[in-house]
Structure 1
Amino acid sequence: MLRWTEFLDVEAIRPSLVARDRGAVLHELAGLMSARAGVSQRELAVHLLAREQLGSTVMEGGVAVPHCRHAGVERIVTCLGIHRGGLAFGAPEDGLVRIYVGMVSPPDTAGLHLNVLSRIATLLHAPELRAELMAAPSAGVMRALLVRAEEACLPLRNEMSLAR
């Protein structure tokens, strides 16, 4: 079963983003992914911004998932950043975003790209998990919370598959 945490290293988690606007957030997220993605921070930030301009990636609950595809990337890479004060990231009615998940994928992984996005959205839909992530003191604790949440989610999915 697919796990988001397979694509999320603890080094790619930042408990306190310092950015003050949307462009700076994208640049900061790109920095968390650039080394593992094998693409420069600037180039990755440009791709994230281009995708964001097509349509906001803000979800309910103060979460945004800026993502893109890039020909120079060999595998899916994700990151997680918390902005303690929150930032206006999408339309004004979206409210402040505090939890940011960045993702970059190779162009030929459309199905896997969508499956990882779906997993992220499913997990971060839970208000309890979002609150725990906001309260977590370190990147290691944040990753452990996500692993635990995925473990709790997987048995339910497997049981549903068996019942069909």
Structure 2
Amino acid sequence: MELSSILKPEAVKVIGATSSKKRLLHDLGDLAASAYGVNPEAAVEALLERETLGPTGVGHGVALPHARLADIDRVVGAFVLLEKPIDFEAVDRQPVDVIFALFAPEDAGVEHLKALALVSRSLREASLCTKLRANADTATLHAILTADQGGQQAA
């Protein structure tokens, strides 16, 4: 599995500022709706429900909200870069500005976990996050995210 198989270019967005974590989750639901045709209300509700189990802010300014939805047939992603970081109740208590949301079918077991592991592994790379934070163009962000992450990349 590669990020290019779960992230469409139109599912990448830069947001100047957002008022709260809840507002950001609404933005992610809207982004997933426009890119993949999911029900935005169901997506937001599922993300909010998942956050009640424990925040998905994984540290170093990165959050990986994820949810299962009834109206999709494969794992899909939505990426948001915030120009102004927000509190996301992250494990390291640092504000979040790099957000990669995953939406999986309700019955997706191992595929959902593989996608979550892939995104987590990718965004754990400080150099990747630095590149993302240095760009505000959505096409460039998509290219950075979907570049071959396997092995060593040329500098």
TM-score by length of 1: 0.85
Aligned to 2:102: 103
Partners of 2:50 and 2:136 in 1: how far apart?
31
In the TM superposition, what whole-angstrom CA distance separates every residue of 1:123-156 from its partner, at most 9, and x where no partner exists? 10011110110111311101111222xx2x3247
Deviation of the 1:16 alpha carbon = 2.1
* 1:81 partner amino acid: V
Alignment of 1:135-150 (within 5 A): 135-148=134-147
Q: Is the 8 A contact 2:65 2:102 kept in 1?
A: yes
Aligned to 2:69: 70
Greater share of residues in helix:
1
Deviation of the 1:18 alpha carbon = 3.4
Partners of 1:9 and 1:22 in 2: how far apart?
23
Deviation of the 1:17 alpha carbon = 5.0
Of residues 10-19 and 136-145 in structure 1, the stretch that sits farther from structure 2 once superposed is 10-19
Deviation of the 1:117 alpha carbon = 0.6
Q: Is the 8 A contact 1:15 1:139 kept in 2?
A: yes
Partners of 2:132 and 2:25 in 1: how far apart?
20
* 1:56 partner amino acid: P
Deviation of the 1:85 alpha carbon = 1.3
Aligned to 2:50: 51
Partners of 1:116 and 1:93 in 2: how far apart?
23
Deviation of the 1:25 alpha carbon = 0.4
Q: Is the 8 A contact 2:60 2:92 kept in 1?
A: no
Of residues 30-39 and 131-140 in structure 1, the stretch that sits farther from structure 2 once superposed is 30-39
RMSD across aligned C-alpha pairs, in angstroms? 1.7
- Equivalent position SS for 2:55: coil
Sort the Cα spacing of 1:32 and 1:17 in 2 relative to 1 into closer, same or farther, 3 A.
farther
TM-score by length of 2: 0.90
Partners of 2:35 and 2:129 in 1: how far apart?
25
In the TM superposition, what whole-angstrom CA distance separates every residue of 1:47-91 from its partner, at most 9, and x where no partner exists? 100001111111121100110001222221211001111000115
Aligned to 1:161: none
Aligned to 1:154: 150
Partners of 1:38 and 1:130 in 2: how far apart?
28
Determine if the alignment matches structure 1 residue 87 to structure 2 residue 98.
no
Q: Could you tell me which runs of 5 or more consecutive residues in structure 2 were left unpaired when the two chains were aligned.
A: none
Sort the Cα spacing of 1:76 and 1:124 in 2 relative to 1 into closer, same or farther, 3 A.
same
- Equivalent position SS for 2:150: helix
Partners of 1:17 and 1:41 in 2: how far apart?
21
Aligned to 2:118: 119
Q: Is the 8 A contact 2:11 2:35 kept in 1?
A: no
In the TM superposition, what whole-angstrom CA distance separates every residue of 1:97-125 from its partner, at most 9, and x where no partner exists? 01111111101211010101111011100
Paired-residue identity, %: 26
